[in-house]
Each structure stands twice: as C-alpha cells, then as structure tokens.
C-alpha cells in the first residue's frame, strides 16, 4: 500500500518574484524539480498532533540565521464545501506580528488543487511603514480523527506590505484528499467536510536587512548610506576596485587634494579630475553613479569597456597616473606613504662572506594560491629560500663558484596592503588559463612580522585588519566581480555589487569566499553547486576572493578618517550643481520643444565674411566658415513678426526702422536665396514658417539693413515706378516695375579672395552694364575701371553676363548674386602667373577651386633632428593648406612649400618635397606618394576605382586613408635625383627592443652599410662613442635572418627585408673581448657573430649568440622585434630569464605572462616548440640552428615591452 506523502517547498532565492510557491504532486511518492515529497504512514514518523516532533523533523532551523520567535497555531476547518472561495483563519501572533492562514478551498488559479498560504494578519489596516518579517514556515493539513494522516509543506519568505502572503497554490489534489480511501487508509483525509490545518512559524533575525530580499524598489542610500556604481557592460571589476579605493578614506582625501580648479585641469581627459567627480558623487548622489566619465578620461573605447580586465594591472596604472598628478601638490608622496612597502632580494654565499642584495619598492603583492592553504602559507612560499649548489652554484665576484642561498625578505609593509591572489594560472596540460577554485583561508586580523628581515624596524607592530575582500564569481570566460568592504574602523562589512550596496555578515565577507569544496550533505559525499554564469555544476565554489585589502592596525585612524575630514574641493559641488541645472534646463527645453522653433538668422556681416558659393554657409561644419555662419535662435512659435524684429534689434544693436527680415527659400538649383520681406507685423512666426518657408530647410531669415536719408527717414526702395518705354520681355508689368534686390561679390585676383561687398536695388529694365557705376562707387574705384560681370547661378554654373542685356532679360530676380572682378590685361595676367603659378585668373576658375577645395594638414614625417629644415617657432612645422582636389603633384608641392617657407629659416624648394599618406586609424605614415602623370590631390587622398600611375594606388581601402592629412619630408635632393638612389628603411633600437625609431634613407646604389651607419649617425644624432658599437641585422616576418657586416652592399639588400640597428649590449662586448673577437676599429660588426656561430658548432665557445623572436601560440605566428641574445654555458634559466628581461625590457607581470621555448630548425621550424623550465640550462638545449621563442599575445606590434593591456591617458 502506498504511503501518505508530504511535500516540501525549497527556500526561494533573491530572484524569486512570484508571490506563491507552486507545488505539483505526482500520483506516486516523489516530487519533481524543487520539491521534496515524503508520503508518510510509518508509525515511527511523528503524529500531526506532536507539534515539537513535527517541527524538528520537517522544519529544522537554519544554522546561519538566529531565531527571533516561534509559534504554532491550529485552525479547525468545518463545512469545507460551504466555505467561500477565499477564506481567512483566525489571527495569531509571532514575534509581535499578526499572522493568519489564507485558504482557497476550491483552489486559487488551479481548480484541481486546494491552496493554502501564510499571510500577515494586519487585514484592512496598513502594516507599519517599511514593515517586514523573515519567516520560515510550514503548513500541515491533517485528519482531526487520525493524526497519522497529514500533508505538509515548508517554505521561507520575506513578508512585506507588498508581498504579504506566501504559500502553496497546489497544496494538495482535491480528488485525492476527498477520496473515500486516502492513500491506503480506510477513510478520507478531509472527513465529514472537516480538517485541521496547523501553521508553524519561525521568525528569523535579519542582521543585514536583506535576508530573502527581492530588491524591488531597494534604496541603497536609504538602507546603508552609500550608493553603488553602474556597470557599463563588463566593468564590475573596475567598480570593485573603485569602491575599495573610495572607502580607503586617506586615498580619497589625497585625490581631493589634486589641483583641479582651472579649466585646463578640468579637461575631460584628466583622469584625476574625473576620479574626484566620481568620489564626490558617491558621497552626495542618492542613486548609483555612472563610471562613463572616468573611463572616457582613461581614453578607453567600447572594446575595453566590454572586456574583463586585470584588476592588479588597472590598479598599478591608476596609481602611477595619480602619483604623477600629485607631484608638486600637498598630496605629493601620499600614495607611496600609503601603499608602498620594501622588499629585499638577496643572494648570500654559504661558505664565504659575500652577499649581493637589492631593495625594491612594491605597491602590491601577488601571492600563490595553488599549493597554499592560507595567507601565511603563501607568504612562507614567497620568502622561501632557494639553495644554489652543484651545477647551479653562484659565481661570486672574487670567490668564484660558491654554494649560496637566494631569496626574498621584506624590509617593511605599507599602511594599506593590497594582496593579489593568483586565482588564474596557466594550465600546461589544457594549454589555457584556468581559474583556481581551491580553498584558501585568510584571517580578519593578521600578523606580518614573521616575514620581516631581522634588521627591519619593528618598533611599531605589523598587525593588519582586513578592510576589503574583492570577489570573483564564475570562471575565466564568464564571471562577475563584487566586493565586501568595511567603511569604518570598527564597523560592519558591506557588499558592493555594482549599483547595489547591502549590509553583509562577517561570514559572507570572509568564510564564504575561501573557495574550495561545497560542504558535505551527510549522504552522498560532496554537494554540487551551479555556476550562475556558465550554468555548469561543480563540487567547488566558483565565488572566491582574488584580492585582499589589509590596513595596519596602528594606522587605522589615519587610513579610515571620519567622513567630515574628507571634503571635496569647493569648486567641485559648485560645478556639478551647475551641470545639474543645465541638464534640468535641457530636459525642460525638450519638454517645451513643441512651444519653440529654431530660426536661423543671417546678416549683411555674415555675407561679407563668407568666401564661398551662395549667400552664406547655412551648414557651417568647419572653422574656416564659422564667422559667416548663421546664428540659430530658439524662439516661441507664438511670437509675431513685430516681436521678432524687436528681438533682432536688441540682438544685433540695430535700429528698429532700419531693418527688415526676408524669408529665405530653397531654389530648385540647390541654392538658398531671399524671396520676399516679412512686412506683416501681426503674423506669428509659426504662420510665417507654414506659409512661406520650405520644410526641408527650416525657417531661415536674412536681415536686410539700410541707412537714413538727409531727412532722417529710412531709405527703402520704392515700388512706385513708371512704365518703361521698352516692351516687357518676361513677367507681368507689376513684377517688371518692382526693384530687384541684388547681392554683389568681388573676386580679388591679386589676393585670391572672393567675398561679399553688399547689396543694391536695380530696376528690371536696367542693363547689366548699369551695375558698373554702382560697383565703382561701392568699391571707391575711379571711373573707367574695366569690369567683368558674372552671375552666380548655382555651385557649378557661373555665367558671364552680357553688358547690353537688361536684368529682366538676364532673368535676374530678388536674391540673385552678381560677381565682379577687374579686367586683367595680358601683361597683368602673365605677371600674376609668374608670381603665383597656382593662382586663378577669373571668377569661374576660382569658383571651381572653391567647389574642389579641401583643407589638408601637413605634418613632418620625422621629428628633429631628422627633418632638413628649421622653423622659427616651435609647432609651426605642422600647418594646414587649402588645396584643390584637381591640383597635380607640382601644384601640391608648390603650395606646401610656399606655406612652409613662411615659418622656416630658409626657403623650401618644392622639388625637394616628398609626401606620404596617413593611416586613418593610427594617424601614422602609410604610403609614399609618387610624382607621376595623372597624380592629383584627389587621387592621392581619395584613390580611384583601380590602380593608376603604373599600378600605384594610395587608397585601396577608403577606411584606411585619412582624407585630410599628409606627411611631408624635405629631401636633401630633388625627387628626380632620388630615383637614382636605393631607398632603405632602418629601424634604430635606441633602448633595447622597447623603443623603435624608423629612418628612411636614400643611399647611392654603390653604398655599403658603412655608409648607412654614417647616414644613421647624422639622422639620429648618434655620438661617436655609440657609433663604434652599432651593428645591423636584417629580419623578415619578425625573425632574424642574418647579421649585416659594414661591408655588406646596400643594393644587395632584399626589398622585403627589415633592417634593424642597435648598440651592441655591454655584456656581449665584454664576452667578445674575453674571447678576443671584438669588432675592428671601422665598426665591423659581422665578424664577432660569425666567429661565435662557428665556435658554437665546433664546441670551442663558452658563450654564444642565439636568434630570438616573439610568437603567439605557435611559431608560425611571429610578431614584434626579433633580437640577438648572449647565451652562457651552465647558466640555469631562472638567471637567463632575468637577463632576457633586461634585454627586452619586459618586466614584472608582463614577464610572468611570457613562455619561453626552443624552436628547432631555425627559420624552417621543425616540430613543436620545446618549452623551457626554470631549472633548464638553455645553452645545452639550443642547437646551432635553433631559435629561442618568446610566446605571448601579439598585443601591439613592435612595442610590446612598453605595452600595458590597459592604458590610462
């Protein structure tokens, strides 16, 4: 016979938003998914009337939560079938709160089941404000005549005014409980329409205030006094670090002391100012704060925002930038005093009195987690002493090879100790980075003194208190960062999870973040947990600490000062208040936008200031036309024309009766011209716009100005004219009698300037030649000056006017533009051509130039002393020139030389200029421009549909070429002479391989590399003592090909090879001197390498050179700068790596990311790379043709040693 059953509701999570727990019992004995069903008939099980036994058996207390009060209440249900659809039981109390059972005898949204809930018992009365109670409860339904027959369900919930009931919609199947025989018993569970339900309620204490909180309408500021930081995409790691630094009061105080009162200091690129703003907003704002301003000041792009980055790397760079900003201020040295400790690296001989040591600063420490069970284990591992003996003996100066001890010990620890736990490590078996979820314990109070040197100053205890635990939940590829921080000296921990801040128990902050396995369940061994980000199950916790912040006990008051001691600079709240007011105004403007309209206004001054096609530039998109651009005003649509005229009078300082506004219209030919004046004072602007304006162009106005006559009256054209004697050609008689408004432009050939000079009124019957007297008077020219007249019809149509034609015959109307210029004789034209070869001699040619005009910025390709010219004022070497897209190479060179000659100490010959296009993304030089037939500015900057000029194309990709930027160089010879030479590009490595400077040289084809060295000395300004130690080597595909002796011919150099030049490292020269293979007086640098290689093959050498290169994942993907490295026989790789670090400039954490491998077969690469271990001797692993490979990501070509995966500008 089947047993009775019981169903148990699991504890709801924070994300549960439903107000009921839905239970679906099977006909069998078990429940699905999140329910536990036990069908009970065993006599050993407690009876429903044994309340203590039932509670102990089915509702055990939570170990982690303290009970506030418990209550048991029983309600006898009678007349079940006669009850209303919703019934409440009597009110009972627990922990001072009223409770009652809510009963749906015929089911709640589930007709086949009965529903029971527990609800707060305030009824029609409202619960107190912010009322809540965290309750664990159980409802038991049983037959009052047989207490063996019962069903129970248990759940937990945070009861609030909004969520006042919680329980079980499918508490029990109706057919089952009313059946004549209930599950093996000879009677029904509900017998005689009667049953008994007992409520067991346990109210729990809520020390953090967020137990089982659903966080709907949660207010971090109200609950904790603090606010969080909004996540931009994947910036939770940044938020954790920023909150930790913000709550380190002394750090916040130091940041506030950085001067940021001037506009220059408040630039958007100033990360210190952005951090000040962020910190102040964390103090003052009521809601979570955005970090967009800060990441923008860092110079980050969306790629960096949507990638999880390394917190240690970010912290180090941020500290470096802030320390630089603090120099010379009252905050100088604040950060080193707070975060910097000292460690000593030593090597001490055992049998002789010799020690080599160095003391270094550290800002944080990176500790091993693998193989360490606790913080102390990690420090013991950190200071572990290594004995060098046998083959690993140390070469002590003056004592030879000696047994020695090597290790690290601390001289001092900082006031604030940042400990980075190595939760991510490279797994050689998986060939990937993996997360270490092992259990790792750290104490709340920790003593650092055991790890100090015996000679360290211990007068002040090195006891540290845990201030912050930064946590990562998930794995390497999918996870989340949050932190537990203690804002006050003796305060509580708080959890900072992006935009949410909550109180946290000490257990949550510390114990729950040790990592390791889940607790055992007592039955089947280890429990499993689900990673919330990957949805995978594991026996190990995926949430664990990756960074710890400890504060020295004796400095707690200094590091965590009272809030009132951390006041922001006075200008900061003022500035932010102004910005808030401006934002509110913008919002108000948006809300009231329907009441306003934008009106563009042009004036006579705008017309005179403009050099271009049409009246003015209605769309001003560059500084060149900005003075002539129209002003845009936001005006009420209800304003009348009279109101508008009054506004114009005040705005421009004009007299009311001397102006009148003209409506501007878009003509079919694409121009914008005045159409007719607005003479209706009572018409509103909205009515005027609807009636006269074109919708596509908006509402545009030209303000006409006039003068007064002798009587003081405004002079406006009269429309009362006599009928002309000549017949009307076009238009009706009324239009023929109305004066025409004509705008005049003057083309100044001498100065190559086209500008507006004013407007006049002419009668339609007057002829084009009748314009001349008015123009001469306007320009104050003598009578008899010969003029050329053109009508500016549209951008590409400039028509010469016929002097004898009337204006009406020429189709001149209001708003038309007439351009005039002085007539040039042959002699005058020739003189201008000689002085200015690129000058335009007539207005149509100049209009064509304007249409094709482009402003190009010229930048020297090389910095001094490489450039063959000298400017009078620093900065003038970069200039902008207006060019025509139709200009050929010679015109381009002439205009650039003309501008450059104005700022240099000597005149520049255009034939000596060579240009290079610019990369649109990087701004760096891209492709040399060749002087060929058909080459124009347009083809150089914008390319063509195919290759041109002998298959030469400058812009195969529109996105790759900057359309307004060229690099230039002043050659020592003409371009013609240059063609007779061999172009060679030498990359000078001035500081190891970390700094590259490229020099392009044109060498005579008979030159040797001895001549290249002389040219490099001149271009790079190398002193003689350096020149004597320079060597060249060529590389291809980021791998060394061979060393080039000074006798090597330039013409024999392959085009695709890259030539590097460097100063031979001192250790190589010392070794060469020891072996007697020093280069000769002429700087012959090839012989020493060849001798070493030969010695390596014969086995005579104790040291030799090896070719090295960088690659990513596999040797077939090389990158970066290859180099030569000196190998020493018998040297273990731990020491070799230190020398490699000095050789490459790759240090610290970057060096830890590099894997080293022996690549067999040299250039050919035979087989897989052989990875080098710390105790290997590299010299014995490398054959004569083998290369040493450095495996690491190709983050930045050619400059990886200086690369940080994160950058703050």
Asked if pLDDT for residue 546 goes beyond 80, the answer is yes
Asked if pLDDT for residue 4 goes beyond 50, the answer is no
Cβ-contact 961, 942 below 8 angstroms: yes
Establish whether 480 is a catalytic residue: yes
Q: Pairing between strand 1058-1063 and 981-989?
A: parallel
Positive or negative, the CA dihedral 647, 650, 651, 655 is positive
Instruction: Kindly state the tokens that stand for 725.
Output: 């004697």
- Could you tell me if residue 729 is inside a domain? no
Are 350 and 332 found together in one domain?
Answer: no
Task: Spot the catalytic one: 134, 236, 349, 1108.
Answer: 236
- pLDDT tens, position by position, 1160-1184: 876 666 567 899 998 888 988 888 8
Widest distance between CA atoms in the chain: 132
- Could you tell me if residue 215 is inside a domain? no
- The alpha carbon of residue 263 and the mean position of all alpha carbons in its chain are separated, in whole angstroms, by 23
The order of strands in the sheet holding 981-989 is 996-1004, 981-989, 1058-1063, 1030-1036, 1039-1044
- pLDDT tens, position by position, 620-671: 665 556 788 899 999 999 999 999 999 999 999 999 999 999 999 988 888 9
Are 958 and 1021 found together in one domain?
Answer: no
Predicted local distance difference test score (pLDDT) of residue 7: 37
pLDDT (average), residues 925-934: 86
DSSP state of 443: -
Are 184 and 316 found together in one domain?
Answer: no
Asked if pLDDT for residue 946 goes beyond 80, the answer is no
- Could you tell me if residue 718 is inside a domain? no
Q: How many domains does the chain have?
A: 7
- Could you tell me if residue 420 is inside a domain? yes
- The alpha carbon of residue 544 and the mean position of all alpha carbons in its chain are separated, in whole angstroms, by 27
- The alpha carbon of residue 255 and the mean position of all alpha carbons in its chain are separated, in whole angstroms, by 22
> What's the CA gap between 317 and 315, in Å, rounded?
6
- pLDDT tens, position by position, 743-771: 999 999 999 999 999 999 999 999 999 99
CA-CA-CA-CA dihedral for 529, 535, 538, 543, to nearest 10: -70
Are 43 and 155 found together in one domain?
Answer: yes
Between these two residues, 826 and 620, which has the higher pLDDT value? 826
- pLDDT tens, position by position, 439-492: 999 999 999 999 999 999 999 999 999 999 999 888 777 788 999 999 999 999
- Could you tell me if residue 1188 is inside a domain? yes
Instruction: Kindly state the tokens that stand for 287.
Output: 């809601």
> What's the CA gap between 475 and 531, in Å, rounded?
8
- Could you tell me if residue 991 is inside a domain? no
Task: Spot the catalytic one: 480, 737, 763, 894.
Answer: 480
Predicted local distance difference test score (pLDDT) of residue 307: 64
Whole-Å CA distances, 349 to 345, 385, 404, 998: 14, 12, 4, 46
CA-CA-CA-CA dihedral for 1007, 1013, 1014, 1017, to nearest 10: 150
pLDDT (average), residues 783-787: 90
**Which element (helix H / strand E) includes 363?**
none
> E-assigned strands of 40-104?
67-77, 87-88, 92-94, 97-104
Gyration radius of the chain over CA positions: 43
Are 614 and 543 found together in one domain?
Answer: no
Q: How confident is the model at residue 1037 (pLDDT cuts 50, 70, 90)?
A: confident
> E-assigned strands of 971-1056?
981-989, 996-1004, 1030-1036, 1039-1044
Are 845 and 856 found together in one domain?
Answer: no
Please say which residue of 947, 979, 1011 terminates a domain: 979
Between these two residues, 601 and 29, which has the higher pLDDT value? 601
Whole-Å CA distances, 157 to 6, 391, 658: 20, 68, 79
Are 522 and 402 found together in one domain?
Answer: yes
Are 192 and 269 found together in one domain?
Answer: no
- pLDDT tens, position by position, 103-160: 999 999 878 899 999 999 998 888 888 899 999 999 999 999 999 999 999 999 999 9
> What's the CA gap between 541 and 623, in Å, rounded?
60
DSSP conformation letters of 1111-1127: EESEEEEEEEEEEEEEE
CA-CA-CA-CA dihedral for 1000, 1001, 1002, 1003, to nearest 10: -140
For residue 537, what is the domain's CATH number?
3.90.70.10
Instruction: Kindly state the tokens that stand for 1175.
Output: 């105790």
pLDDT (average), residues 1001-1027: 91
Listed range (49-53, 146-150, 646-650, 1149-1153) with the worst mean pLDDT: 1149-1153
Between these two residues, 795 and 510, which has the higher pLDDT value? 510
Listed range (4-8, 326-330, 1124-1128, 1198-1202) with the worst mean pLDDT: 4-8
pTM for the whole structure: 0.62
- pLDDT tens, position by position, 206-232: 988 889 988 888 889 998 999 999 988
- The alpha carbon of residue 238 and the mean position of all alpha carbons in its chain are separated, in whole angstroms, by 12
Please say which residue of 919, 944, 979 terminates a domain: 979
Listed range (455-464, 545-554, 618-627, 674-683) with the worst mean pLDDT: 618-627
**165 has which bridge partners?**
119
> What's the CA gap between 452 and 456, in Å, rounded?
6
For residue 98, what is the domain's CATH number?
2.60.210.10
Predicted local distance difference test score (pLDDT) of residue 982: 86
> What's the CA gap between 79 and 192, in Å, rounded?
8
- Could you tell me if residue 760 is inside a domain? yes
What share of the chain has pLDDT > 70, as a percent? Answer: 85
Residue with tokens 């939940």: 473
Q: Pairing between strand 740-748 and 816-822?
A: parallel
- Could you tell me if residue 994 is inside a domain? no
The residue segments making up the domain with residue 1094 are 1002-1202
- pLDDT tens, position by position, 351-379: 999 988 889 999 999 999 988 999 999 99
Q: How confident is the model at residue 541 (pLDDT cuts 50, 70, 90)?
A: confident
- The alpha carbon of residue 1052 and the mean position of all alpha carbons in its chain are separated, in whole angstroms, by 47
Instruction: Kindly state the tokens that stand for 1169.
Output: 């790379």
> What's the CA gap between 773 and 785, in Å, rounded?
10
Cβ atoms within 10 Å of 222's Cβ, excluding its own: 9
Are 182 and 225 found together in one domain?
Answer: no
Give the CA angle between residues 160, 162, 165 to the nearest 5°. Answer: 70
Please say which residue of 204, 238, 265 terminates a domain: 204
DSSP state of 927: E
Are 49 and 180 found together in one domain?
Answer: yes
> E-assigned strands of 687-829?
699-705, 740-748, 753-762, 787-794, 797-800, 816-822
Cβ-contact 500, 216 below 8 angstroms: no
Are 177 and 241 found together in one domain?
Answer: no
Q: Backbone phi, then psi, for 106, in 5-degree steps?
A: -115, 20
Q: Which residues contact 1025 (CB under 8 A, 6 or more apart)?
A: none
Are 311 and 359 found together in one domain?
Answer: no
For residue 655, what is the domain's CATH number?
3.10.20.90
> What's the CA gap between 630 and 599, in Å, rounded?
10
């Amino acid at each position: 016979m089947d047993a009775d059953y019981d169903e148990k509701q699991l504890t709801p999570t924070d994300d549960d938003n439903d107000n009921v727990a839905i239970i679906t019992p099977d006909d069998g004995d078990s429940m699905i998914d999140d329910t536990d069903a036990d069908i009970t008939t065993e006599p050993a099980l407690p009876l429903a009337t044994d309340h203590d036994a039932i509670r102990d058996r089915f509702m055990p207390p939570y170990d982690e939560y303290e009970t506030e009060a418990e209550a048991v209440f029983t309600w006898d249900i009678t007349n079940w079938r006669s009850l209303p659809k919703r019934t409440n039981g009597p009110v009972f109390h627990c922990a001072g709160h009223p409770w009652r059972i809510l009963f749906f005898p015929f089911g709640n949204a589930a007709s086949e089941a009965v529903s029971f809930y527990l609800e707060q018992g305030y009824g029609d009365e409202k619960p107190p404000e912010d009322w809540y109670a965290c309750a664990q409860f159980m409802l038991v339904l049983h037959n009052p005549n047989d207490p063996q027959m019962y069903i129970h369900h248990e759940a937990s919930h945070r009861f609030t005014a909004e969520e006042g009931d919680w329980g079980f919609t499918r508490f029990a199947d109706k057919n089952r409980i009313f059946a004549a025989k209930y599950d093996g018993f000879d009677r029904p569970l509900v017998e005689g329409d009667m049953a008994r339900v007992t409520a067991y309620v346990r109210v729990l204490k809520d020390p953090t205030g967020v137990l089982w909180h659903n966080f709907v309408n949660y207010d971090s500021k109200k609950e904790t006094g603090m606010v969080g930081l909004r996540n931009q995409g994947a910036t939770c790691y940044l938020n954790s670090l920023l909150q930790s630094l913000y709550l380190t009061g002394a750090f916040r105080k130091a940041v506030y002391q950085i001067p940021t009162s001037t506009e220059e200091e408040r630039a958007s690129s100033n990360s210190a100012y952005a951090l000040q703003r962020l910190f102040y907003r964390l103090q003052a704002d009521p809601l979570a704060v955005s970090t967009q301003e800060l990441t923008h000041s860092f110079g980050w792009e969306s790629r960096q925002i949507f990638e999880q980055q390394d917190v240690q790397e970010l912290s180090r760079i941020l500290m470096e930038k802030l320390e630089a900003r603090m120099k010379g201020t009252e905050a100088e040295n604040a950060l080193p005093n707070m975060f910097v400790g000292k460690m000593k690296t030593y090597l001490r001989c055992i049998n002789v009195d010799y020690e080599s040591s160095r003391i270094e600063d550290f800002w944080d420490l990176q500790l091993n987690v693998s193989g360490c069970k606790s913080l102390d284990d990690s420090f013991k591992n950190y200071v572990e002493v290594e004995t060098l003996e046998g083959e690993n003996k140390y070469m002590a100066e003056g004592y030879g090879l000696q047994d020695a001890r090597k290790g690290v010990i601390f001289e001092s620890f900082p006031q604030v100790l940042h400990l980075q736990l190595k939760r991510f490590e490279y797994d050689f078996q998986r060939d990937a980075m993996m997360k270490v979820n092992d259990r790792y314990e750290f104490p709340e109070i920790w003593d650092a003194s055991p790890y100090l040197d015996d000679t360290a100053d211990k007068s002040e205890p090195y006891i540290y208190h845990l201030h912050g635990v930064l946590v990562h939940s998930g794995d390497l590829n999918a996870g989340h960062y949050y932190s537990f921080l203690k804002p006050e000296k003796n305060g509580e921990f708080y959890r900072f999870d992006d935009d949410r801040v909550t109180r946290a128990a000490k257990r949550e902050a510390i114990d729950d973040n040790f990592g390791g396995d889940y607790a055992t369940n007592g039955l089947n061994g280890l429990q499993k947990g689900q990673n919330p980000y990957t949805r995978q199950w594991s026996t190990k916790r995926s949430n664990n600490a990756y960074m710890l912040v400890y504060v020295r006990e004796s400095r707690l008051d200094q590091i965590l000062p009272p809030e009132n001691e951390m006041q922001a600079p006075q200008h900061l709240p003022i500035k932010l208040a102004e910005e808030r007011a401006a934002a509110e105004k913008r919002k108000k403007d948006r809300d009231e936008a329907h009441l306003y309209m934008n009106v563009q206004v042009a004036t006579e001054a705008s017309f005179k200031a403009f050099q271009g096609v049409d009246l003015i530039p209605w769309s001003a998109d560059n500084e060149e036309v900005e003075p002539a651009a129209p002003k845009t005003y936001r005006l009420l649509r209800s304003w009348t024309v009279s109101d508008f005229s009054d506004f114009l009078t005040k705005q421009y300082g004009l007299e009311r009766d001397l102006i009148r506004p003209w409506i501007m219209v878009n003509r079919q030919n694409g121009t914008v011209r005045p159409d007719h004046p607005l003479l209706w004072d009572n018409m509103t602007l909205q009515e005027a716009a609807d009636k006269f304006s074109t919708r596509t162009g908006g509402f545009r106005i030209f303000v006409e100005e006039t003068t007064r006559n002798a009587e003081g009256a405004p002079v406006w054209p009269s429309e009362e004219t006599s009928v002309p004697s000549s017949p009307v050609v076009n238009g009706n008689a009324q239009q023929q009698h109305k004066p025409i408004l004509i705008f005049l432009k003057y083309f100044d050939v001498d100065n190559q300037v086209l500008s507006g000079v004013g407007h006049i009124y002419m009668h339609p019957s007057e002829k084009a030649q009748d314009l001349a007297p008015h123009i001469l008077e306007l320009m104050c020219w003598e009578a008899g000056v010969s003029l050329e007249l053109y009508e500016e019809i549209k951008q590409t149509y400039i028509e010469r006017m016929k002097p004898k034609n009337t204006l009406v015959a020429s189709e001149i109307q209001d708003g038309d533009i007439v351009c005039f210029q002085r007539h040039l004789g042959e002699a005058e034209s020739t003189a201008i051509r000689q002085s200015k070869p690129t000058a335009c001699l007539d207005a149509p040619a100049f209009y064509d130039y304007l249409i094709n005009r482009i402003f190009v910025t010229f930048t020297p390709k090389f910095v001094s002393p490489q450039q063959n010219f000298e400017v009078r004022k620093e900065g003038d070497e970069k200039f902008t020139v207006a060019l025509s897209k139709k200009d050929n190479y010679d015109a381009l060179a002439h205009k650039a030389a003309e501008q450059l000659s104005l700022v240099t100490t000597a005149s520049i010959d255009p034939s000596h200029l060579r240009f290079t296009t610019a990369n649109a993304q990087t701004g760096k030089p891209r492709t040399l421009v060749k002087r060929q037939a058909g080459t124009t500015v347009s083809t150089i900057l914008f390319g063509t549909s195919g290759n041109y000029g002998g298959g030469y194309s400058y812009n195969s990709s529109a996105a790759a070429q900057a359309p307004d930027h060229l690099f230039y160089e002043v050659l020592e010879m003409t371009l013609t002479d240059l063609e007779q030479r061999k172009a060679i590009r030498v990359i000078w490595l001035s500081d190891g391989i970390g700094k590259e400077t490229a020099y392009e040289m044109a060498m005579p084809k008979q030159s040797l590399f001895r001549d290249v060295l002389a040219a490099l000395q001149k271009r790079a300004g190398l002193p003689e003592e350096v020149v004597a130690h320079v060597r060249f080597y060529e590389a291809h595909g980021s791998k060394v090909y061979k060393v080039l002796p000074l006798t090597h011919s330039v013409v024999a150099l392959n085009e695709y090879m890259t030539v590097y030049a460097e100063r031979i490292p001192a250790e190589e020269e010392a070794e060469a001197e020891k072996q007697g293979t020093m280069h000769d007086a002429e700087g012959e640098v090839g012989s020493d390498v060849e001798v070493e290689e030969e010695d390596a093959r014969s086995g005579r050498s104790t040291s030799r050179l090896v070719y090295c290169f960088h690659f990513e994942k596999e040797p077939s993907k090389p990158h970066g700068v290859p180099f030569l490295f000196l190998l020493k026989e018998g040297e273990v790789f731990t020491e070799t790596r230190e020398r490699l670090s000095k050789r490459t400039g790759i240090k610290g954490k970057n060096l830890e990311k590099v894997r080293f491998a022996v690549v067999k077969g040299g250039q050919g690469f035979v087989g897989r790379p052989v990875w080098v271990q710390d105790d290997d001797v590299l010299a014995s692993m490398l054959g004569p043709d083998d290369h040493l490979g450095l495996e690491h990501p190709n983050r930045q070509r050619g400059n990886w040693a200086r690369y940080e995966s994160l950058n703050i500008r």
